[in-house]
């Protein structure tokens, strides 16, 4: 399937709808030349037990890795997020997570990659994966080769598997859900007052939210630990 995605003739027509939304974000993109200017060193930096070459770091930092993820995640808000984010730090975090997943022998099959690609709505036409649309978007919007994008997708899935493994034992108790319920609603409405009956009706939804928040916080600390 991956071979099929790569070998079919790419359509010449730009998918204008998505382009209008995403392409303006590219005017904000421009990594500094800091890393290229320091290549007198033999490597860009270190992770525990591993030296990272400049080519590895540039791959993680460049459009091949970070920018495509940011565009998919933030869409038309990408330019604002880019200016506010430390993308070099994100690149190091990504490298650390990929390295940790390899140590744990976490792998992602071609089938899983295909299923993920086919699930993205921006690669679909009338609810089905469209190969011509896929190639158009990669060429004209992401400006990325299919083989590279597919490998990036494989790494994304593998990192999600690492997230699931690391956070699988995390739970929340009733008190944590109540506190999260109050905190979230108070942020929306400063005059919020806790009502037991309403809380019980909405508890399941907020339990999921608070649990996910707790997992993300734990995984963030886990990731930071990989960089020490």
Three-state SS letters, the chain: CHHHHHHCCCCCCCCHHHHHHHHHHHHHCCCCCHHHHCCCCCCCEEECCEEECHHHHHHHHCHHHHHHHHHHHHHHHHHHHHHHCCHHHHHHHHHHHHHHHHHCCCCCCHHHHHHHHHHCHHHEECCEECHHHHHHHHHHHHCCCHHHHHHHHHHHHHHHHHHHHHHCCCCCCHHHHHHHHHHHHHHHCCCCCCCHHHHHHHHHHHHHHHHHHHHHHHHHHHHHHHCC
pLDDT score of 18 more than 90: no
Strand partners, 52: 45
Q: Which of 11-20, 77-86, 154-163 is the least confident region? A: 11-20
Distances (CA, A) of 90 to 63, 202, 214: 13, 35, 20
How confident is the model over 27-44, as a mean pLDDT?
Answer: 49
pTM of the model: 0.71
- Percentage of the chain beyond pLDDT 70 is 68
Q: Which of 15-19, 49-53, 210-214 is the least confident region? A: 15-19
pLDDT, tens digit (0-9, with 9 covering 90-100), for 51-62: 877 677 666 665
d(CA 74, CA 98): 22
For residue 182, what pLDDT is reported? Answer: 96
Tell which residue, 84, 227, 199, 98, has the closest CA to residue 151.
98
- Pick 46 or 226 by higher pLDDT: 226
Give the residue extent of every domain in the chain: 2-168, 169-228
For residue 124, what pLDDT is reported? Answer: 95
- Percentage of the chain beyond pLDDT 90 is 49
For residue 56, what pLDDT is reported? Answer: 74
pLDDT score of 220 more than 50: yes
Q: b vs e for 20-34, b when ≥16 Cβ sit within 10 Å of the residue's Cβ?
A: eebbebeeeeebeee
pLDDT, tens digit (0-9, with 9 covering 90-100), for 72-122: 665 666 566 555 556 777 888 888 999 999 999 999 999 999 999 999 998
How confident is the model over 11-37, as a mean pLDDT?
Answer: 42
Q: Residue 22's pLDDT band (boundaries 50, 70, 90)?
A: very low
For residue 85, what pLDDT is reported? Answer: 55
- Mean pLDDT over the full length of the chain: 78
For residue 35, what pLDDT is reported? Answer: 47
Residue 45 phi/psi, 5-degree rounding, is 175, -170
């Amino acid at each position: 399937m991956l071979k099929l995605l790569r070998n079919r003739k790419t359509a010449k027509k730009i998918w204008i709808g998505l382009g209008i939304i995403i392409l303006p974000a590219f005017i904000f993109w421009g990594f500094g030349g800091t890393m290229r200017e320091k290549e007198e060193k033999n490597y860009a930096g270190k992770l525990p037990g591993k030296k990272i070459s400049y080519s590895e770091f540039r791959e993680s930092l460049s459009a091949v890795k970070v920018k495509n993820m940011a565009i998919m995640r933030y869409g038309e808000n990408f330019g604002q997020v880019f200016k506010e984010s430390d993308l070099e730090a994100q690149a190091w975090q990504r490298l650390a997570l990929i390295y940790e997943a390899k140590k744990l022998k976490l792998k992602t099959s071609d089938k899983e990659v295909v299923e993920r690609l086919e699930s993205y709505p921006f690669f679909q036409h009338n609810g089905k994966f469209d190969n011509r649309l896929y190639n158009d978007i990669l060429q004209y919007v992401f400006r990325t080769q299919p083989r590279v994008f597919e490998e990036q997708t494989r790494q994304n899935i593998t990192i999600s598997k690492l997230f699931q493994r690391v956070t699988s034992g995390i739970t929340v108790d009733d008190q944590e859900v109540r506190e999260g319920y109050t905190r979230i609603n108070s942020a929306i409405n400063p005059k919020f007052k806790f009502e037991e009956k309403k809380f019980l009706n909405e508890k399941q939804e907020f339990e999921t939210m608070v649990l996910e928040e707790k997992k993300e916080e734990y995984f963030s600390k886990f990731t930071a630990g990989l960089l020490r």
